[in-house]
Amino acid sequence: MRGLMMPNDLLISDLLEHAVRSHAQQQIVSRRLDGRIVRHNLHAFAERSRQLARALLDLDVRAGDRIATLAWNTHRHLEAYYAISGIGAIVHTVNPRLFAHQIEYILQHAEDRILLVDNSFITAVEAMLPRLPKVEHVIALSDWEDKPKGERWLCYEGLLNGQSPHFTWPRFDAQTAAALCYTSGTTGQPKGVLYSHSSTLLHAMAACRADAIGLGPESVVMPVVPMFHVCAWGVPYAALMAGARLVLPGAALDGASLSELIENERCDIALGVPTVWMGLLTHLRQQGQRLSSLRRVVIGGSAAPLAMIREFDQVHSAFVMHAWGMTEMSPLGSTNTPTPELLALPAEERYQRQLSQGRAVFGLHMEIFHADGQPLPHDGLAYGHLKVRGPWVLAHYYRQADVPAVQDGWFDTGDIASIDAQGYMRIVDRAKDLIKSGGEWISSIDLENAALGFPGVREACVIGIAHPRWEERPLMLIIAESTPIDIAGLRQYLQNQVARWWLPDAILEVSELPHTATGKLSKLTLREHYADYYRDLTP
Ligand code: AMP
């Protein structure tokens, strides 16, 4: 027997109009590319989104069209999110930090008809346009005065100007595609993940919950994670759903700019990858400055190091909440929220527990499996392939029917993890980054974390490279804070942190480490570069 409730589809435009009805005066604060701060309340923001919707329809945008953005976290980018999905088209966020050939591949593969471009990326886009025959219009996300010269460029504010702020959003099925994001593609070509209205809204509901990110009308939330990376982890939707104040940092992601914005706007929740927090903490340390409003820092994308969890707590009274997920999961999978039990623990014990990536959020089911396909016990010790399923996990990659995504109802995340009896999951490594030495596994993440506890180590990266005797052995690369690192001292220190046979055969100090376009250490590049390091050392 079927239930007898209204079968109404919830759409992203419903979210926008709800936010206006319930929180019209709530603000969206945005840093423009010239550094100035602009504020719109939700009433004005919705009017501008409706004007953009009308302007896009005037450009003959039709349902299902892909419209790409190459843009920072700003109010205009947010308006594009709502206007494009609202009319049944697809907002395709492109990561401008990718190599030009990857961006071109992505735009060609998605067949975007329109590009919305921040002024920072105009030169790069102009160079690509001759190879993008499907692109009909390019719109600069700028004021009229800053519009780039050249006939091809339309001006965003010019398009909005004169449009009516009233608009009746079209209705359609909630499984309709709303947004498209390509994975960063460290191996092979990037692959597209196509989110629906339904998956986006369910994900936003899950993200708002107190036992997930925890957002309400009293929150002032700053997504430092870019809106071109998995829709800024869903915050642009979750914040409007919760009636939270949204603070968008624009292009200025350096420590000084972020700390100024956090303090001035009294942000209490901020989200981002470890690399940006490293920059912020270094700046604050150098200035001898403490943050006064930040209460929660949500860290994901890569493992949050112990030293970072400790410093945020001890110096800034901010709780680091580890979150885990991936592009294919919209991205939220698990969060390590501050429970009363956790907060009652002595500090150092608590920090250790905060290293866990937390428990599954409601709606997302995760399980660990042995390579033979058997599920593994939840004892905190056994580790294996982490697989997930849920209404915001992809079923297929976009236009890549030949790439299998789901098997036996599970999506294999490519991560190796353990889960304990309370459901806390811990990422041991990416499957391809685990180091196999003499038949035993070594976690590169645990070794990196251990090294970051040694004074003066700013960044650490461990890779497994071929070894004539042990199959693979770890090699550690470190960046020093300021003065050179005492390598012998670090080795001594590591002996007390990890099993003896885990100790890297070599520790090298380097001046920089390569990162991927989403801020992760690019271990593939390093593995290639150092491939023969141990072979060459061995006679
Ligand atoms: P992406 O699709 O670019 O967001 O990358 C997803 C991958 O990032 C995951 O499969 C993990 O390997 C890694 N990742 C995400 N969050 C965390 C976390 N909190 N700790 C460790 N690794 C993470």
CATH number at 82 reads: 3.40.50.12780
| 448 plus 514 within the same structural domain | yes
CA distance 87 to 83: 6
Q: Catalytic residue at 509?
A: no
Residues 401 and 449 in one domain: no
- Tell how far the Cα of 300 is from the centroid of ligand 1, in angstroms: 6
- Residues 396 and 413 reside in one and the same domain: yes
- Decide if 402 is inside a domain: yes
Q: How far is the CA of 302 from the centre of ligand 1 (A)?
A: 5
Residue 528 lies in a domain: yes
Q: Which of 47, 328, 367, 472 is catalytic?
A: 328
Task: Decide if 282 is inside a domain.
Answer: no
- Do 14 and 159 have their domain in common? yes
Catalytic residue of the set 134, 218, 341, 436 = 436
Query: What sign for the dihedral angle of Cα 444, 446, 452, 453?
Result: negative
Cβ-in-10-Å burial (0-12, 13-18, 19+) of 217 comes to: exposed
Domain C-terminal end among 156, 178, 197 = 197
Query: Which pair of structure tokens corresponds to residue 230?
Result: 């998995």
The tokens of 107 are what? 């735009």
Give residue 66's pLDDT.
98
Please state the φ and ψ torsions of residue 35, each to the nearest 5 degrees.
95, -20
Query: What atom in ligand 1 is closest to the CA of residue 518?
Result: 3
d(CA 445, CA 416): 11
Distance 309 CA to ligand 1 centre (A): 17
pLDDT value for 259: 98
SS3 449: helix
Residue of 180, 277, 324 to mutate, ligand 1, most atoms within 8 A of C-beta: 324
Is residue 303 lining ligand 1, measured as CB closer than 6 Å? Answer: yes
Residue among 53, 16, 45, 13 at smallest CA distance from 29: 45
| CA 230–ligand 1 middle distance (angstroms) | 11
Q: Is 441 a catalytic residue?
A: yes
Contacts of residue 272, defined as CB under 8 A and 6 or more positions apart, other chains included, come to 223, 224, 225, 297, 298, 299, 301
- Three-class DSSP labels, 167-202: CCCCCCCCCCEEEEEECCCCCCCCCEEEEEHHHHHH
**Measured from the CA of 445, which atom of ligand 1 is nearest?**
21
| Ligand 1 atom, smallest distance to 230 CA | 4
Please tell me whether residues 480 and 373 are part of one structural domain. no
Residues 486 and 423 reside in one and the same domain: no
What's the CA gap between 111 and 107, in Å, rounded?
6
DSSP alpha helix (H) spans, 25-90: 42-58, 75-86
Which residue has tokens 């707590």?
Answer: 313
Domain containing residue 411? 365-430
Backbone angles phi, psi at 442, to 5 degrees: -125, 135
Per-residue b or e along 491-500, where b marks 16 or more CB atoms closer than 10 Å to that residue's CB: eebbeebbee
Looking at the structure, do residues 127 and 186 belong to the same domain, yes or no?
A: yes
Alpha carbon separation from 238 to 232, 241, 310 (Å, rounded): 10, 5, 28
SS3 510: coil
Same domain, 424 and 444: no
In this structure, is residue 492 part of a structural domain?
yes
> Which two tokens mark 98?
């990718």
**End-of-domain residue from the set 149, 176, 197:** 197
- Rounded distance from Cα 422 to ligand 1 centre (Å): 21
Give the residue, out of 98, 229, 302, 336, with the most ligand 1 atoms within 8 A of its beta carbon, to mutate for a pocket test. 302
- For residue 404, what pLDDT is reported? 85
Residue located nearest, by CA, to atom 9 of ligand 1: 326
Instruction: Name the domain count of the chain.
Output: 3
pLDDT at 185: 60
Instruction: Give distance in angstroms: CA of 318 to centre of ligand 1.
Output: 22
Say if residue 411 is in the same domain as residue 508: no
Longest dimension (CA), the chain: 77
Rounded distance between C-alpha atoms, residue 104 and residue 511, angstroms: 31
Query: Would you say how long the chain is, in residues?
Result: 539
- C-alpha R_g of the chain: 23
468 and 527 fall within a common domain: yes
Query: Does residue 321 fall inside a structural domain?
Result: no
Nearest ligand 1 atom, CA 323: 19
Domain boundary among 430, 450, 470: 430
Q: How many CB atoms neighbour CB 222 within 10 A?
A: 25
Crossing angle for the helix pair 12-23 and 235-242, to the nearest 10 degrees: 40
| Residue 325 belongs to some domain of the structure | no
Under 8 Å between Cβ of 159 and 152: no
183 as an active site residue: the answer is yes
Cα of 301 to ligand 1 centre, how many Å? 4
* 426 and 454 inside one domain: no
CA distance 227 to 519: 14
Does any ligand 1 atom lie closer than 6 A to the CB of residue 354?
no
Per-residue model confidence as pLDDT tens for the chain (539 residues): 999 999 899 999 999 999 999 999 999 999 999 999 999 999 999 999 999 999 999 999 999 999 999 999 999 999 999 999 999 999 999 999 988 999 999 999 999 999 999 999 999 999 999 999 999 999 999 999 999 998 899 999 999 999 999 999 999 999 999 999 999 765 678 999 999 999 999 999 999 999 999 999 999 999 999 999 999 999 999 999 999 999 999 999 999 999 999 999 999 999 999 989 999 999 999 999 999 999 999 999 999 999 999 999 999 999 999 999 999 999 999 999 999 999 999 999 999 999 999 999 999 999 999 999 999 999 999 999 999 999 999 999 999 988 889 999 999 999 999 999 999 999 999 988 999 998 889 999 999 999 999 999 999 999 999 998 889 999 999 999 888 899 999 999 999 998 899 999 999 999 999 988 888 888 988 999 999 999 887 65
Q: Are residues 389 and 458 in the same domain?
A: no
* 151 CB-near residues (< 8 Å, 6+ apart): none
What residues form DSSP beta bridges with 412?
387
Give the domain CATH number at 385. Answer: 2.30.38.10
Which of 180, 320, 321, 326 for a ligand 1 pocket mutation test, highest count of atoms within 8 Å of Cβ?
A: 326
Q: Is 153 a catalytic residue?
A: no
Residue having the nearest C-alpha atom to atom 8 of ligand 1:
301
Q: Is 326 in the pocket of ligand 1 (CB under 6 A)?
A: yes
Assigned domain for 281 exists: no
279 within some domain: no
State the distance from the centre of ligand 1 to the C-alpha of 324, rounded, in angstroms: 6
Nearest C-alpha to atom 21 of ligand 1 is from which residue?
Answer: 303
